[in-house]
Amino acid sequence: MTERTSRTDRELHAELHREIMAEFATETEAWATERVERVMARLNAARPDGEPLAAHVLWIREATAFTTPAPHVYISRRLLERLPSDEAVALVLAHEAAHHDCGHLDLFQSWLELLPRGAVGTLVAAVFRHLEHRAYGPEREAEADVYAVELCLDAGYDGGRCLQMFDILESMSLDRGDYDGVFGPESLLDPTDPNWNGPAHQLHRWLWTRAHRYLPLRERKERAWDWYRSRATRR
């Protein structure tokens, strides 16, 4: 990457961040901003490489978190107020940090470079959080889950309390009737099906995970817990 390209990248990243903050960052309560700043600082101290990330609270309708190629991560107030501890917040922010540290954001570079100066406006900022998870795919999201657990442990957080975040996400999904998002589609859940785990089953699963961008929440939680337990036995 040339110095000129790097400078252009930084300008685009800064513009995108300014637009997001101008449109959505209206948080005024100290407990919210102080919590994410405190947790992000602790995670940054444990990250092996990479530019320190800043965390911000946004007033958007969805209970979500996302990041961009800029050194910033964002969490919605709606999600933050449902997380009961610094540990749960840490797992959310660490998942977003993983997309930086694992190189998942490289795919957005060419997309940003196509935008003319001044085009990184409010519309782009608003849709980016939807675009990014569609682009990552279930494998990268699963990788980010594992990295997030590891980062939280390296930062000295209690892993079990961090993983409560998945219980909260499950509860929120079930409250809005998203049973497939928690358990996966009903057609894939019957182990007595003679086609269980056969080619048709695997294809259906592959198509479903691509459409939803994530593995089912219950599977993500079980994988994260399995990795956490395996790390504990290695120490």
Alpha-carbon distance of 114 to 25, in angstroms, equals 26
List of E strands, the chain: 54-58, 65-67, 72-76
Tell me the residue type at 81. E
In the sheet that holds 72-76, the strands lie side by side as: 54-58, 72-76, 65-67
Question: Which candidate, 25, 111, 27, places its Cα nearest to that of 68?
Answer: 111
User: What average pLDDT does the segment 204-220 reach?
Assistant: 67
Provide the β-strand partners of residue 75. 57, 65
> Looking at per-residue confidence, does 12 or 59 come out higher?
59
pTM of the model: 0.81
Alpha-carbon distance of 46 to 154, in angstroms, equals 6
Neighbours of 108 (CB within 10 A): 18
User: What average pLDDT does the segment 146-169 reach?
Assistant: 95
Alpha-carbon distance of 201 to 189, in angstroms, equals 10
User: Would you say residue 55 has pLDDT above 80?
Assistant: yes
User: Would you say residue 31 has pLDDT above 60?
Assistant: yes
Predicted pLDDT of residue 70: 84
Residue with tokens 């509860």: 171
Predicted pLDDT of residue 18: 84
Neighbours of 49 (CB within 10 A): 6
Alpha-carbon distance of 30 to 51, in angstroms, equals 25
Provide the β-strand partners of residue 15. none
Alpha-carbon distance of 202 to 206, in angstroms, equals 6
User: What average pLDDT does the segment 145-161 reach?
Assistant: 95
Predicted pLDDT of residue 109: 57
Domain ranges for the chain: 3-154, 179-234
25-39, 111-125, 148-162, 201-215: segment of lowest average pLDDT:
111-125
CA within 13 Å, CB half, 145:
24
Neighbours of 167 (CB within 10 A): 12
14-28, 64-78, 185-199: segment of lowest average pLDDT:
185-199
Alpha-carbon distance of 156 to 19, in angstroms, equals 34
Q: What average pLDDT is seen over the chain?
A: 79
Alpha-carbon distance of 5 to 193, in angstroms, equals 54
What band does 149 get if pLDDT is binned at 50, 70 and 90? very high
Q: Tell me, what DSSP letter sits at residue 48?
A: S
